[in-house]
């Protein structure tokens, strides 16, 4: 991957196809620096996903779709006729970049369908058009979810969000932050509390930066401060995204989401999950079947590049947890809103 600084970094401009390469705004560096990494190979895209250069389920899927474009272009140049028979390792590398976000598998499956229609000619045009369509459809879906979710909020009120489910995590506008943006524009939101989200601090670094760009009042808080804040009153909703939603409505999202849902139920605060239907995995019966990614324990033992845990102390670093469907008050998708989601309601939404 090659660092690039020529493109203009904004929350809505985190993934850019430019001059025959995929440019990814390096989210590990925000907000101190805004730098694009230029990916010309599918392996570079897979590594960028693994290394958290790009993160957030929809954005991971979009990046993987562009990764297929890069892989097919390279194989076509190498092999000409018969190029498609050499794509297996490239697709496998993308598929295994991160295991929990179902949008990754969804996007790759859609790109495989396009590959099957390409024949053995130059695949660049059709594949690039499909990747761009996935990207644009996500942007439009986010806008629609923003409108639907904002309509549920009686305000003005304050909300809590966890991790980053904004434009940086999607094709643009955001899922949870899309609802927050739309609600603020409609006068239904007076302020946002952003959990800092250890250990990668996506709330502190990314969500606060996004909301600041839009002049939406945001206050950072330690993850453990949410309970006392809810007890004070004045919090209308907890609004989060999702990395995978099982057929029964169980939600896998950033670690700490489950605890927030429990707190919200106890304090009678609404709990809203905002995610496109590409995040719904009907092949997984419940959250118990969702693979939970575990990352390097050193991420917990350090903060800001400085070790904070004593040498010799072990750490666990699950990236996600599963919130049972019965704790979800509203599931907002681009196809509509499900109140108190369950298996029959999700099936009806997807079949409809």
Query: Please, which residues bridge with residue 174 across strands?
Result: 166
- The candidate with the shortest Cα–Cα distance to 165, out of 155, 175, 156, 151, is 175
pLDDT at 261 over 60: yes
Distance (Å, whole) CA 121 – CA 217: 52
DSSP-H helix ranges across 16-82: 42-50, 57-79
- CA-based R_g, the chain, Å: 20
- The candidate with the shortest Cα–Cα distance to 324, out of 251, 269, 253, is 251
pLDDT digits (tens, 9 = 90+) for 174-191: 999 999 999 999 999 999
pLDDT at 242 over 90: yes
Of 5-19, 53-67, 130-144, 219-233, the least confident: 5-19
243 among known catalytic residues = yes
- pLDDT, residue 29, reads 94
Helix axes 102-118, 88-95, angle to 10 degrees: 160
pLDDT digits (tens, 9 = 90+) for 181-240: 999 999 999 999 999 999 999 999 999 999 999 999 999 999 999 999 999 999 999 999
Question: What mean pLDDT is reported for the chain?
Answer: 94
pLDDT digits (tens, 9 = 90+) for 297-325: 999 999 888 999 999 999 999 999 999 99
pLDDT at 1 over 80: no
Among positive and negative, which fits the CA dihedral 85, 90, 93, 95? negative
Rounded to 5°, angle at Cα 202 from 302 and 130: 125
pLDDT bucket at 273, cuts 50 / 70 / 90: very high
What's the Cα-to-Cα distance from 113 to each of 106, 119, 130, 351, rounded to whole Å? 11, 11, 10, 21
Sheet with 218-221: list strands edge to edge: 218-221, 189-195, 157-161, 235-240, 270-274, 330-333, 336-339
Cβ neighbours around 157 below 10 Å, total: 17
pLDDT bucket at 155, cuts 50 / 70 / 90: confident
The two three-digit tokens of residue 78, written as one number: 């190498």
- pLDDT, residue 4, reads 55
Structural domains in the chain, sorted by start = 2-140 (1.20.120.420), 146-351 (3.40.50.10470)
Write the CB contacts of 250 (distance below 8 Å, at least 6 apart in sequence): 286, 287, 288, 290, 322, 323, 324, 325
Interval 149-161 mean pLDDT: 96
pLDDT bucket at 2, cuts 50 / 70 / 90: low
Looking at 243, 281, 321, 329, which residue is catalytic? Answer: 243
Interval 69-79 mean pLDDT: 93
pLDDT bucket at 5, cuts 50 / 70 / 90: very low
- pLDDT, residue 148, reads 98
With pLDDT > 70 as the criterion, what percentage of the chain qualifies?
A: 98
Between 155 and 154, where is the model more confident? Answer: 154
Check: CB of residue 223 under 8 Å from CB of residue 257. Answer: no
Could you tell me the pTM of the whole model? Answer: 0.91
Strand 189-195 relative to strand 218-221, pairing = parallel
């Amino acid at each position: 991957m090659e660092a690039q600084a020529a493109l203009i970094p904004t929350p809505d401009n985190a993934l850019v196809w430019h001059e025959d390469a995929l440019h990814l705004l390096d989210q590990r560096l925000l907000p101190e620096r805004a730098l694009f990494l230029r990916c010309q190979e599918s392996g570079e895209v897979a590594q960028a996903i693994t290394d958290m250069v790009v993160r957030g389920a929809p954005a991971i899927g979009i990046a993987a779709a562009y990764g297929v474009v890069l892989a097919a272009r390279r194989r076509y140049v190498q092999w000409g006729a018969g190029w498609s028979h050499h794509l297996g390792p490239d697709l496998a590398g993308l598929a295994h970049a991160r295991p929990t976000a179902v949008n990754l598998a969804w996007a790759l499956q859609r790109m495989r369908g396009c590959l099957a229609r390409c024949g053995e000619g130059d695949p660049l045009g059709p594949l690039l058009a499909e990747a761009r369509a996935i990207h644009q459809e996500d942007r439009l879906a986010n806008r629609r979810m923003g409108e639907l979710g904002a309509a549920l909020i009686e305000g003005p009120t304050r909300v809590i969000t966890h991790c980053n489910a904004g434009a940086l995590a999607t094709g643009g506008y955001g899922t949870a932050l899309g609802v927050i943006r739309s609600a603020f524009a409609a006068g239904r939101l007076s302020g946002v509390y952003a959990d800092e989200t250890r250990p990668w601090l996506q709330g502190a670094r990314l969500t606060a930066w996004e909301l600041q760009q839009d002049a939406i009042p945001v206050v950072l808080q330690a993850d453990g401060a949410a309970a006392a804040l809810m007890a004070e009153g004045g919090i209308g909703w907890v609004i989060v995204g999702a990395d995978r939603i099982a057929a029964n409505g169980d939600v896998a999202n950033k670690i700490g989401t489950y605890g927030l849902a429990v707190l919200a139920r106890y304090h009678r605060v609404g709990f809203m999950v905002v995610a496109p239907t590409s995040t719904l995995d009907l092949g997984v019966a419940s959250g118990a079947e969702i693979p939970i990614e575990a990352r390097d324990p050193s991420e917990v033992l350090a903060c800001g590049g400085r070790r904070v845990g004593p040498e010799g102390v072990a750490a666990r670093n699950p990236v996600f947890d599963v919130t049972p469907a019965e704790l979800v008050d509203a599931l907002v998708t681009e196809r509509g809103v499900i109140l108190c989601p369950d298996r029959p309601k999700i099936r009806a939404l997807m079949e409809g």
